[in-house]
Structure 1
Amino acid sequence: MKLIHLPHIPKQTQIIETVAEIWSEWRRQKLPLYLFLGLCFNLVLAPAVFAATGGEFSRTQAYWLAALGLVTIALAIYLFFVMFVPEKF
């Protein structure tokens, strides 16, 4: 019987440091988080759009229509803030 050598498992401190590094990077870059949350919300919204169309649209068209609606709402919110709080931008 041959022994299988497992790769060296990092120490607990290395794991904690890695998690801390990922956490700090996430705190600086929020766009990937916002994109991920938008895609997750699209997964909830697209079946409702598909059901509301009564089968006139394909499933792919329903997902893109929901994504288009999310982008339109996000752009409207962004432009609202740019108009009323321009010194931040």
Structure 2
Amino acid sequence: MKPTLHILLPQVSVQVLAGITEIWTQWRKQKLPLYLFLAMCFNLVVAPLVYAATGEQFSRTQAWAVGLLGLVTLSLSIYLFFVMFIPEKF
């Protein structure tokens, strides 16, 4: 006897919900992977701009590296700005 879709669907949805809750709880504990993922997604926008601005003198890898370096520099400068002017939070 073959299992039908309406019998399997509740089991699959329970497994999917369990997986989503596990990811949600881990996301609350570990923020660094989320920040790295968001930086790489933002670099998808920045790297082609760098590649276009250099007149294709850089390779795509170099454009990605320069874009990521710019993002890291910008984020560190924003962090240090807040540390200097609002030290009570840190």
The TM tier, using the shorter chain, reads 0.7 to 0.9
Q: CA deviation at 1:49?
A: 0.4
Q: CA deviation at 1:58?
A: 1.4
- Is the aligned partner of 1:17 residue 2:22? no
Q: TM-score, normalised by structure 1?
A: 0.79
Cα distance change, pair 57–20 in 1 and its aligned pair in 2 (3 A): same
Structure 2 equivalent of residue 64 of structure 1: 65
List per-residue Cα deviations over 1:10-56 (Å, max 9, x = no partner). Answer: 93434322321211111221111110010011111101100000122
Cα distance change, pair 14–56 in 1 and its aligned pair in 2 (3 A): closer
- Structure 1: runs of 5 or more not aligned: 1-8
Superposition pairs of residues 1-80 of structure 1, within 5 angstroms? 11=11, 12-80=13-81
- Return the structure number with greater helix share: 2
Q: CA deviation at 1:61?
A: 1.0
Structure 2 equivalent of residue 88 of structure 1: 89
- Structure 2: runs of 5 or more not aligned: 1-7
Aligned length: 81
